[in-house]
Amino acid sequence: MAQSKALEQPIEALDETTLELRAGRRDRWLTSLTFLVLFSIWVALTGSGLWEPLIKPIFLPSPVAVFEAFQNLLEGGYQGRSLGYHVGISFYRFATAFSFCILVGVPLGLLLGMSRPIRAVIEPPIEAIRPVPKLALLPLFLIWFGIGNLSKIVVIAAPVFPIIVISAMQAVRSVSQKKIQAAQALGAGTLTVFRRVVLPASLPGIFTGIRVSLSIGVTMLVGAELTATSEGIAWMALTAAEYLSTDIVLVGVLIMAIMGYTLDRIVRALEARLVHWSGKD
C-alpha cells in the first residue's frame, strides 16, 4: 500500500504540471486571438470601404497607412530627430522615474509596514499628496526643476511613488500574524522573520502595485511631454495631432502601448519566477 501511494504521487504531480502547461498554451492562444480580432475589426472599419462615409482616414487611418507612416519615420525621423531617438529619450525618462520609485518606494513601504511609529509620521503626508492631480503641479515642477529631463522624470514619478509605497506597506500589514508568531516561537530574530516570512509573503502585493503603477507611469509620460520639450514619442504624437497627422499619432500610441505591454509581461514573468508559490497555499 505504501509503495503504491509513493508511485501515485509523482503521477499526480506530473498531471498537475501537464495541466498547467496546457492552460498556459491555451491562454497564449486566447491572447493571440484577442489581438487578431481587434486587428480584424480595425481592417474591416478602415479597409473594406463600407464604413468610409462615416470613418474617414483623417479620423482612423488604415493599418497600411499607419505602417507606411512608421516606415517613413524609420527612414526620415520626425522634426529632425530619428524615431529611435524619440523612443529612447521617452524610455529613459520613464525608466529613470520608475527605477527610482521601485528602489526607494518599495523599501520605504516595507519600513512603514513594519514600524507603526514611522508609519504614523510618513503615511499621512503621502496620503495627503496622493489625490492631488500631478499634471496640475507641472508648472511648479518646471519652475523648481527646470525644463530639462529632471522635471519630466519628477512628473512621471510623482503619482507612481505613492502607489508603490502604499502597496508595499499594505502587503506587509496583510501578512498573517500567525506565521510571524510561529517563526518567533521557533526562535527567529527580527531580521530572520523579515527575510523568511514577511518579505516572501509581501512580494505578491508588491508586484501587484508595480503592475498597476506601470500603466499610470506610461500615462504620465504623455503629461510629462506636454510642454517644454521637443523630443520624445509622446511629444511626437501630440505634435502630429496638431497637424491632423493621425497616422503618426497612431504610430506613437502603438509604440507606447507596446512599451507598456512588454514591461507588464516582463514584470509578470519576474513575479512568476520569484513568487512561484503565490496562490498555492
41 touches 60 (CB < 8 A): no
- pLDDT at position 87 is 92
The answer to whether residues 15 and 143 belong to one domain is no
pLDDT of 50 higher than 70? no
Same domain flag for 195 and 73: yes
Residue 279 lies in a domain: no
CB 232 within 8 A of CB 206: no
* Residue 280 belongs to a domain: no
Shared-domain flag, residues 11 and 84: no
pLDDT for position 279? 53
- Is pLDDT of 244 > 70? yes
Is residue 200 domain-shared with residue 92, that is, in the same domain?
yes
pLDDT on residue 2 = 45
Residue 37 lies in a domain: yes
Q: What pLDDT is stored for residue 15 in this prediction?
A: 64
Question: Among 137-141, 230-234, 253-257, which is the least confidently predicted range?
Answer: 137-141
109 and 181 in a single domain? The answer is yes
Q: Any idea what DSSP says for residue 277?
A: T
Question: How many domains is the chain partitioned into structurally?
Answer: 2
Q: Are residues 10 and 86 in the same domain?
A: no
Cβ 116 vs Cβ 172: under 8 Å: no
pLDDT for res 193: 79
Q: Does the pLDDT value for residue 97 go beyond 80?
A: yes
Cα 208 to Cα 28: distance, rounded to the nearest angstrom: 21
Min mean pLDDT across 39-48, 90-99, 192-201, 268-277 is at 39-48
Residues 145, 237, single domain; the answer is yes
3-class SS string, 28-85: HHHHHHHHHHHHHHHHHHHHCCCCCCCCCCCCCCCHHHHHHHHHHHHHHCECCECHHH
pTM > 0.85: no
| Residue 25 and residue 107 share a domain | no
Q: Are residues 250 and 155 part of one domain?
A: yes
pLDDT band at residue 65 using 50, 70 and 90 as cut-offs:
confident
Q: Beta partners for 81?
A: 78
- pLDDT surpassing 50 at residue 5: no
pLDDT band at 224 (very low <50, low <70, confident <90, very high): confident
133 alpha carbon, distance to own chain's centre:
19
Residues 4-16, mean pLDDT to the nearest whole number? 50
Residues 178 and 256 in one domain: yes
Q: Look up residue 132 and give its amino acid.
A: V
Mean pLDDT in residue range 161-165: 93
Dmax over Cα atoms in the chain, in whole Å?
79
The rounded percent of the chain whose pLDDT value lies above 90 is 26
Confidence of residue 7 (pLDDT cuts 50, 70, 90): very low
User: In which region does residue 213 sit, left (phi positive, over 0), alpha (psi from -120 to 50) or beta (all else)?
Assistant: alpha
Residue 54 — very low, low, confident or very high, per pLDDT cuts 50/70/90? low
> Does the pLDDT of residue 102 top 90, yes or no?
yes
Q: Which domain holds residue 25?
A: 1-55
* Co-location of 236 and 100 in the same domain: yes
> Does 6 score more than 90 pLDDT?
no
Whether the per-residue pLDDT at 89 is higher than 90: the answer is yes
Burial class (CB in 10 A: 0-12, 13-18, 19+), 79: exposed
Beta carbons within 8 Å of 179's beta carbon, 6+ residues apart: 197, 201
254: CB partners within 8 A, 6+ apart: 66
**How many Å apart are CA 38 and CA 46, to the nearest integer?**
12
Weakest mean pLDDT among 1-15, 116-130, 240-254: 1-15
Do 131 and 251 share a domain, yes or no?
yes
**Grid cell in block for residue 195:** 527575510
Alpha carbons 85 and 82: distance in angstroms, whole number: 5
